[in-house]
Structures are given as C-alpha cells and as structure tokens.
Amino acid sequence: MTNRSIYLFKTDYFHRDWTWVKRGLIMMVLNMGILALPMESPYGYWKVILILLITTFLLLRPVDDLALDRDTLYHIRKSVFSRFTRIDRYDLDRLQSLRVRGVHSDKWEIVGLLDGVGANRATFNSLEMSFNDGISRSLELAVGRDQIDQIIRLVDDLKGEKVKSPMSTM
C-alpha cells in the first residue's frame, strides 16, 4: 500500500460518515423486510441466513476512492476486511486521455440509498481512460463529479509539466 501523505489528491469516501450511515439504513430496511416475511417455524433459520448474508455483503463491499501522485492514478476499492481491498494503478505516462461521464455528485447521495447493489447508474460516474497502446478502460465510480474533474485537471497539469520539461526540448 502506498503512503497516503504522498498523494497530490485523494478522495476519502471510505472514512465519510455518510457512506456508513447509508449502508446501515439499507441493511436495516432489507433486514426488517426479511423479518416481516411470513415463514413457518421449520424454515425460520433461512431468515437468519439471509440477514447474515445481506449484512456481510454490505459491510464488506468495497468503497471507491481515487488518488493521484506525480506519476500514477490510483483506483482504490477499500473494504473493511483488508483482503478485499484492491488498488489498481495507472501510469500517467501511458495515459493518452482521461474523461468523465455522469452526473453523480454529493447532492445525489440520497439517491444512492436506492442503489444498494449498484443497479442505479444515475448514482455513478464513468471514468474513461485511453492508453498509448490503444487499450481503453472504463471505471464505474460512486465518486463525485467535481472530484473526478479535479483529478482530470491535475493529470492534465502533470502531463503538461512533463511535456514542458527541459529534457523534452533537446
């Protein structure tokens, strides 16, 4: 894992209160719905199993974050259980273009309550990357549009600095 202090910019949705309040509300609604289901007593243990599965899924499901240092863009999918945490690194030198599509912002967070498993695309932004070798990659992120725009501006500035460096003019 990289040291968080070396980042030029980092979103921190994992440590935001709203991330966990939203998950807690979704858990509560789904679990109350399961408990309200009429089941005979011999099959009552299925309710407990479903509640445990839903709770485990919502607690362990990774949270999207983005980070940027001078050479690399990081897509961090952080989970409470560190084994499920994954960091994808994208080298800025290989990056040809970076763009965003979507309308997700902090004001849309309340809509995210209806999006327990990622079915509602209105609460996500797509970060589209094109690389020098012709490969494209698209990330569906629940990260605010303004923060992604800020990362894109920083990447453009960093790539511009590398082009303007004294070594490139020789």
| CA 93 to each of CA 24, 60, 135, 161: distance values in angstroms, whole numbers, following the listed order | 41, 33, 14, 12
Sequence-distant (6+) residues with CB within 8 A of 89 are 72, 73, 74
The residue length of the chain stands at 170
What backbone phi and psi angles, to 5 degrees, belong to 23? -65, -40
pLDDT digits (tens, 9 = 90+) for 69-118: 999 999 999 999 999 999 999 999 999 989 888 765 555 555 555 544 44
Domain residue extents for the chain? 7-163
- Please calculate the CA angle 56-60-66 and round it to the nearest 5 degrees: 160
Over 88-138, what HEC string results?
EEEECCCEEEEEEEECCCHHHHHHHHHCCCCCCHHHCEEEEEEECCCCEEE
Query: pTM of the full predicted structure?
Result: 0.76
pLDDT digits (tens, 9 = 90+) for 24-81: 998 999 989 888 888 777 777 888 898 999 999 999 999 999 999 999 999 999 999 9
Sequence-distant (6+) residues with CB within 8 A of 122 are 103, 104, 108, 111
- Name the CATH architecture for the domain at 7-163: Roll (2.30)
- 114 against 162, higher pLDDT: 162
- pLDDT band, very low/low/confident/very high, at 152 (cuts 50, 70, 90): very high
